[in-house]
Amino acid sequence: MAGRAGRGEQPGDVYIQTLCPDHYAIARAAAQDYGAFFEREAELRRSLAYPPFARLLGITGMAANRPRLSQTMQRLAGRLRGSWSQQGVKVLGPAVSPIPRIRGRFREQILLKGGLAAPEAKRALLEAVADCGRAAPGVDFQVDVDPVNML
């Protein structure tokens, strides 16, 4: 834990083990060059439409019945693509979650990237999720704005 290295005026040591020592994040951290790291990271995030330059919205579907879940997530993704593609929002997925099953429930994800901040956009999204949920009993959804963890 680098944040615990050294105390006050006492210097501390931090050791980093990596397979990519030339990666910009590692190189900038080693040089303690926050400004250069920020510039590179901001450029990358802007080009990929990641926060804070765009919004991400993760939708996780969960169900004990895998075929019903997959069918519901496909239907939801299709509906979102139909209504959001003209607004510059990318709909990615659905895809099986990196942790595909928790407590006997299968999990799939959809990720939206783009301009999702308008109140009417949020309402339309929640309406689409609710409609798909009503049409598929046993399928639950979790919606996460700018998700930190997508496992």
Residues 112 and 127 in one domain: yes
CATH code: domain of residue 135: 3.30.70.600
Residues 36 and 62 in one domain: no
Query: CA 151 to CA 100: how far, in whole Å?
Result: 9
For residue 108, the tally of other CB atoms under 10 A from its CB is 24
C-alpha Rg value of the chain to the nearest Å: 20
Percent of the chain with pLDDT over 90: 50
Residues 95 and 38 in one domain: no
What residues contact 147, with CB distance under 8 A and at least 6 apart?
56, 57, 58
- Its pTM stands at 0.74
The residue ranges of the chain whose pLDDT is under 50 are: none
The answer to whether residue 9 is domain-embedded is no
Edge-first strand listing for the sheet containing 90-102: 90-102, 105-114, 55-63, 140-145
Range of the domain at 134: 55-145
